[in-house]
Structure 1
Amino acid sequence: MPKKTPAERPPGRRTPAAHPAAGTSKRGETAVDLRIHGAVVNAVMSHRLPPGTRLGEAEFCELYQVSRTTVRKALQRLAHDHIVVLRPNRGAVVASPSPEEARDVFAARRALEREIVPLVIRNVTPSSLKRIRAAIDAEEQARTSGDRAAWIRLGGEFHLLLAELAGNAVLQRFMMELISRSSLIIAVYENPGAPMCGNHDHNELLGFIESGNIKAATKLIEHHLADIEDRLHLGAPERKLSLAEALSGG
């Protein structure tokens, strides 16, 4: 048999700042692509890049010493994740979800997660309960360390995990897009000075899943999502930083 050539290994898992719905690295992407992607996501989630900020290719090229081709790959990935909008002949800007879109996204999430939670309970296993507990612990660690970007990301990943454990691939695919959009909405519209809330709802939900209480779990997930939406300050942030300042954590 002919000797097989080793397949090119994709870059490893992203850092905690990676976006919840961004998925694993794809063929053709490089470590620099992912680094740019992660830096922009982290800056948006940490309120350093407000909506409407122009993301100039030349600035990225200078900051990261890479070609425009590399920058465009990163921007295309960000556009796929609904973090930026690519405007023909005008470049990329940080996405500006409207208050109406925010309400629509959370309404859609409530509709989907009402269906997901009962499926999680019906399919529950000791292994899935351990995964849910690990997700809650990771979220709490980000909160106590003050890492807001990771806290937002891990909150989204908790809900994506539930969609996975529900065992419905279609619902999971829909949830990936909604989590991507709602993570940006939370980053944009939640008051930057607001305290990072504890995981009381997620812990309580785990208890209902363990006990098989579908009615209580469904009611809680609706309340939980409504509470997140109620905390949003639906007005555009006023702070403006340069791209270099934002990406450096300025």
Structure 2
Amino acid sequence: MPSTGPARPQGKRKSTSKAEPAALPGAPLKRGTTAVDLRIYRAVVNAVMSHRLPPGTHLGEADFCELYQVSRTTVRKALQRLAHDHIIELRPNRGAVIASPTPEEARDIFAARRALEREIVPLVIRNASPASLRQIRAALEAEDEARRTGDRAGWIRLGGEFHLLLAQLAGNHVLLRFMSELVSRCSLIIALYETPGSAMCENDEHQDLATLIETGKVNEATHLIEHHLLEIEGRLRLGEQDKKVNLAEALSGF
């Protein structure tokens, strides 16, 4: 149980009636979800997407109880939702750990994501409006700012959110739900297999994609998104990394 580190998240023992936004755009809220267990869910997802909680990290219920000042019942609700979304695994006699996809699973997940995003991009172009195009450009500005300031964790997270924004703008809630899961699982895969120091999601490709969307070039945009995802997968390397993390540090700021 961590005893030192950065300021801990301030939680509440009693749930409130107003839930926070979901961790991922468009992620559906489960019946009975409260602000507190949703906050825990959101913190873990954001830490995973920012590579602050690598695969295999043990998540102790007692640690969450201390960090958020909540009961084990509240923590278990959040962990159950994380397990449902394949972000963690609940293992007998070991408890909750961040999921550790195998290389074979990684290939399958990236293949599924390529198939999904090939369908999403034409829908984004078909439904394009001045408002949606402004959202895309605003997302790219935030991503570029993170890169300019050297905020690698923020840049990686914003890169994933850019892809989720496209799924949201496609206007198909089923595709969006699948993308929410796949982006989280791809972030796990990148955390496990990325080559140290590599830029996993080049902002220039996002800029090029935005231009193709704005000009309505469906075939070129669809080809680029597939190439983009293949490039990300191609920069991964096999071989697990044994990283030890402090849960309080990983979740600070969330």
TM-score where L is the length of structure 1 = 0.81
User: Which range moved further: 106-115 or 80-89?
Assistant: 80-89
User: Which range moved further: 219-228 or 23-32?
Assistant: 23-32
Q: Corresponding residue for 2:20?
A: 12
Compute the displacement of 1:28 (Å).
4.0
2:40 to 36, 39, 43: 36
Unaligned runs of 5+ in 2: 1-15
Q: Corresponding residue for 2:183?
A: 179
Quick check: 1:157 aligned with 2:149? no
Deviations 1:193-243 (A, max 9, x none): 334654111111111111111121111111101111112223211222344
Whole-Å separation in 2 of the counterparts to 1:60 and 1:52: 17
Q: Corresponding residue for 1:210?
A: 214
Q: How many residues align?
A: 238
SS at match of 1:96: coil
Whole-Å separation in 2 of the counterparts to 1:163 and 1:247: 27
Task: Give the share of equivalent positions with the same residue, in percent.
Answer: 71
1:76 to 60, 77, 80: 80
Whole-Å separation in 1 of the counterparts to 2:181 and 2:127: 23
Closer/same/farther in 2, CA of residues 74 and 223 from structure 1, 3 Å limit: same
Whole-Å separation in 2 of the counterparts to 1:99 and 1:154: 25
Whole-Å separation in 2 of the counterparts to 1:25 and 1:142: 29
Q: Matches of residues 67-216 of structure 1 in structure 2 within 5 Å?
A: 67-88=71-92, 90-195=94-199, 198-216=202-220
Whole-Å separation in 1 of the counterparts to 2:201 and 2:117: 21
**Aligned AA (1:98):** T
CA-atom RMSD in angstroms: 2.7
Asked whether the 8 Å contact 2:124–2:213 carries over to 1, the reply is yes
**Aligned AA (2:179):** M
Whole-Å separation in 1 of the counterparts to 2:25 and 2:236: 21
Deviations 1:21-46 (A, max 9, x none): 68366564444424433443344344
Compute the displacement of 1:110 (Å).
1.3
Which aligned runs of 4 or more in structure 1 are off by greater than 6 angstroms? none
2:238 to 227, 234, 240: 234
Whole-Å separation in 2 of the counterparts to 1:68 and 1:209: 47
Whole-Å separation in 2 of the counterparts to 1:179 and 1:102: 12
SS at match of 1:92: strand
Unaligned runs of 5+ in 1: 1-7
TM-score where L is the length of structure 2 = 0.80
